[in-house]
Amino acid sequence: MIQFKNLIKRFGDRTVLKGLSLDIREGEILFILGTSGTGKSVLLKNLVGLLRPDEGEIWIDGEEVSRLSEEEYLPVRKKCGMVFQHPALFDSLTIFENVAFGLRRHYRLDEETISLKVKKALSLVHLTGIENKKPAEISYGMQKRVSLARTVALEPRILLFDEPTTGLDPVTTNAVNQLILDLSRTLKTTSLVVSHDMHCALGIADRIVVLDKGEIVALGTPDEMKKSQVPLVRDFLAEVLA
């Protein structure tokens, strides 16, 4: 349902994605691992149209999207919910209004429906009773979950997470990972998770792709990864098996 075909992305004379091809299956959780600066965020941004590739194609549900105009891209973006690394909530708005923001912006809904959708999204991330608080009154981990709820409320079919657990303590990390798993299964979304965390990837991914300098060096199930002899994969595994 999502296909990258020979994707090339350059910034000036620097080629960040070097002819990347990848098929993502409907409903799967795909972890994208790689060292810093290897093009993981650039890949997600190309999918949601925040960046456009220089060459190659991006197919979503049978449509080549990379050359659509900004306006034509809007329905594509609605299919893809992106959870950014930092929560970036609106400080002056309550948690309720933060989650309702996208719903109000993208859809014409009555207040009752908005309220139901906000409460459902917050309960999916195990946050209830904090609707009237402001972001400053809740912890960073809770803010990250609110940002997840904000994306989930729009009911995207494709969920993109850019380092959802970076900067979280181990307990909250586990909770967020469990949440990604639950959401994917409950809402039947296709999930792409950018991460540095091989331990989480082995635990919840259907498949893992490892990028190095803008190219795929390994792709497979957690079991296949564990047996990989690719040096970078071994490096990632070393931390888990240590």
Give the interface with ligand ATP as residue ranges (CB under 6 A).
11, 16, 34, 36-42
* Smallest separation (angstroms) from ligand ATP to the CB of 143: 19
Mapped onto helix, strand or coil, the DSSP state of residue 82 is strand
Q: Is 1 exposed, middle or buried (0-12, 13-18, 19+ CB in 10 A)?
A: middle
* Smallest separation (angstroms) from ligand ATP to the CB of 36: 3
Going through the chain in order, the beta strands assigned E by DSSP cover 2-11, 14-24, 29-34, 55-60, 63-64, 80-83, 158-162, 190-195, 207-212, 215-220
Which residue number, 84 or 101, has a Cβ lying nearer to Mg ion? 84
* Smallest separation (angstroms) from ligand ATP to the CB of 85: 7
Residues near 184 by beta carbon (within 8 Å), at least 6 away in sequence: 27, 29, 159, 190, 191
Which residue number, 41 or 165, has a Cβ lying nearer to ligand ATP? 41
Could you list the residues that contact Mg ion (CB under 5 A)? 41
* Smallest separation (angstroms) from Mg ion to the CB of 10: 17
Using CB distances below 5 to 8 A depending on partner kind, what does residue 60 bind out of Mg ion, ligand ATP, none?
none
Using CB distances below 5 to 8 A depending on partner kind, what does residue 75 bind out of ligand ATP, Mg ion, none?
none
Query: Measured at the alpha carbon of residue 210, what is the angle toward residues 206 and 211, in degrees to the nearest 5?
Result: 140
Using CB distances below 5 to 8 A depending on partner kind, what does residue 148 bind out of ligand ATP, Mg ion, none?
none
